[in-house]
């Protein structure tokens, strides 16, 4: 029985997907076209076949990727994404990329009110696939007792030795830089969610500033909005011009 070319390509790619992690970005249509020596129309038809089977999906800015259920993060409390993933049976791990005491960049010095900071950059993995690149700054005097292995095993919240009141988190859309794209294994310029979090003590003193970069195709934020009387209880959300 004669097999149509796009079906042959779909069969080959289907077998490939078994060895590729969920959320992994596939080569571009142009690259696949060159690999299989067919037109992009044929490649797209093969990919559409796999999409109908729920094996792959696509999003503007990413192209095609192995289909995945987005990782959800609740914003209702000061907790780590790792603990939330563990509740769902997802294995989370951290890879420390940088650990250094450095002069505070201008925007960090302004937010934390100190000239020297401990800067930690890490990559977070979920079931072996990268889902976040995080940079954390804390005042040098608070972090002087910490080691690289400390921040790899535990969140800063448990290591600083101070009582925390909470945090203000600002979330916006951005495009992946070359550095972040390499760590997250996504195309340069693809959509990401950028979260900046400023954590303070019970006395209102800022002690942590962190930047979290999440691939947009793998991430969802969940916010509970309780019923409240209008004009009495603020929603907690505000527009930024």
| pLDDT tens by residue, 29-73 | 999 999 999 999 999 999 999 999 989 998 877 788 888 777 777
Q: Which of 29-33, 65-69, 80-84, 87-91 has the highest mean pLDDT?
A: 29-33
Mean pLDDT (whole number) for 132-140: 95
Kindly state whether residues 197 and 137 are assigned to the same domain. yes
Other beta carbons within 10 angstroms of residue 154's beta carbon come to 14
Find tokens 């006395």 and name the residue.
Answer: 203
Domain for residue 86, yes or no? Answer: yes
* Burial group, residue 65, by CB count within 10 angstroms (0-12, 13-18, 19+): buried
Comparing 16-20, 51-55, 108-112, the range with the smallest average pLDDT is: 16-20
Return the pLDDT at 241. 54
CA dihedral 123→126→132→137, nearest 10 degrees, is: -50
Kindly state whether residues 168 and 202 are assigned to the same domain. yes
* Burial group, residue 61, by CB count within 10 angstroms (0-12, 13-18, 19+): middle
Kindly state whether residues 76 and 184 are assigned to the same domain. yes
Mean pLDDT (whole number) for 151-167: 89
Domain for residue 230, yes or no? Answer: no
Kindly state whether residues 176 and 200 are assigned to the same domain. yes
Kindly state whether residues 78 and 37 are assigned to the same domain. no
CATH number at residue 38: 1.10.10.10
Domain for residue 108, yes or no? Answer: yes
Range of the domain at 32: 5-66
- Name the domain count of the chain: 2
d(CA 45, CA 10) in angstroms, rounded, equals 9
Domain for residue 232, yes or no? Answer: no
CA distances from 106 to 63, 98, 110, 195 (A): 36, 19, 6, 18
Other beta carbons within 10 angstroms of residue 54's beta carbon come to 8
User: Is residue 83 within 8 Å of residue 180, measured between CB atoms?
Assistant: no
């Amino acid at each position: 029985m004669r097999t149509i070319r796009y079906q042959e390509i779909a069969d080959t790619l289907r077998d490939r997907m078994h060895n590729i992690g969920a959320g992994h970005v596939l080569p571009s249509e142009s690259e696949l076209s060159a690999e299989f020596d067919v037109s992009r129309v044929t490649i797209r038809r093969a990919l559409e076949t796999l999409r109908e089977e729920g094996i792959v999906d696509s999003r503007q800015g990413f192209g095609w990727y192995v289909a995945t259920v987005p990782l959800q993060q609740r914003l209702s409390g000061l907790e780590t994404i790792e603990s939330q993933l563990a509740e769902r049976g997802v294995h989370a791990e951290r890879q420390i990329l940088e650990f250094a005491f450095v002069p505070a960049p201008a925007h960090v010095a302004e937010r934390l009110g100190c000239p020297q900071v401990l800067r930690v950059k890490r990559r977070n993995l979920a079931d072996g696939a990268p889902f976040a690149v995080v940079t954390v700054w804390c005042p040098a005097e608070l972090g002087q007792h910490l080691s690289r292995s400390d921040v790899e095993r535990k969140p800063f919240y448990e290591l600083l030795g101070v009582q925390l009141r909470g945090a203000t988190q600002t979330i916006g859309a951005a495009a992946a830089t070359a550095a972040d794209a390499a760590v997250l294994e996504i195309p340069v310029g693809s959509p990401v969610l950028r979260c900046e979090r400023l954590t303070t003590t019970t006395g209102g003193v800022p002690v942590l500033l962190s930047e979290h970069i999440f691939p947009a195709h793998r991430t969802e934020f969940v916010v509970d909005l309780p019923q409240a009387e209008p004009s009495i209880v603020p929603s907690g959300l505000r527009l930024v011009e």
